[in-house]
Amino acid sequence: MAEKRILVVEDETRIAEILERYLRAEGFATERAGSGKRALELWRAFQPDLILLDLMLPEMSGLEVARTIRAKSDVPILMVTAKAEEVDRLLGLELGADDYITKPFSPREVVARVRAVLRRSGGGSLRPRVYRVGKVSVDMSAFEARCGEAAVALSPTQLRLLAALAKADGRVLSRHELLDQLGEPYVDARTVDAHVKNLRRRLGSCGAQIETVRGVGYRLRALP
């Protein structure tokens, strides 16, 4: 199996060197970018399987980098931030980050998060099954979603969220249940709202099928 490629975007040289050393020791191939502009250059040239993206960067912020990449690619993004405010975390998730980790962190924890995101996004463990609810269909073997006949570009996290709702067969799922199925049981449950908001927007007219059940959670239903 070919080694997975990780793009480390970090302007603090010492931290970047440590992360690269740990990732390479675990069998990953790495490239490093010390600025937002360089990150975009390497994203195009290196074609990474995952981007480890610091929020605070010179020339161009991590959020701007994520926004630019998400407009054209669903490559998994693990956001790194020194800021603990919830607004930063939610904003990163709304822009399509698949997970985030806050500084200071253990390099071993970063490697574990990288593996978890790659496992959730790639999928040999995903069951080859198609789920259909109304006009929405999710094919986990092909890793794609559709609204009617139109393909919908979703990030790995958004696709897993939609699949969880679809296979619940109309049952309401709480925010905590959804976080468990997304592999994010320790994240604030309100981050689910950010995921759902972004998912509805991506689904276009089919976004109305995701119903908010006040005080409980969400469900996917066919419209009358």
What residues contact residue 168 under an 8 Å CB cut-off, 6+ apart? 219, 220
The identity of residue 183, as a single letter, is: G
- Report how far residue 178's alpha carbon sits from residue 185's, in angstroms, rounded to the nearest whole number: 9
Tokens encoding 140? 């986990």
pLDDT digits (tens, 9 = 90+) for 92-140: 666 667 888 888 889 999 999 999 888 877 643 333 467 899 999 998 7
Confidence (pTM): 0.58
pLDDT digits (tens, 9 = 90+) for 59-80: 888 888 988 888 777 789 998 8
Coil/strand/helix, residue 59: coil
Structural domains for the chain: 5-122 (3.40.50.2300), 130-220 (1.10.10.10)
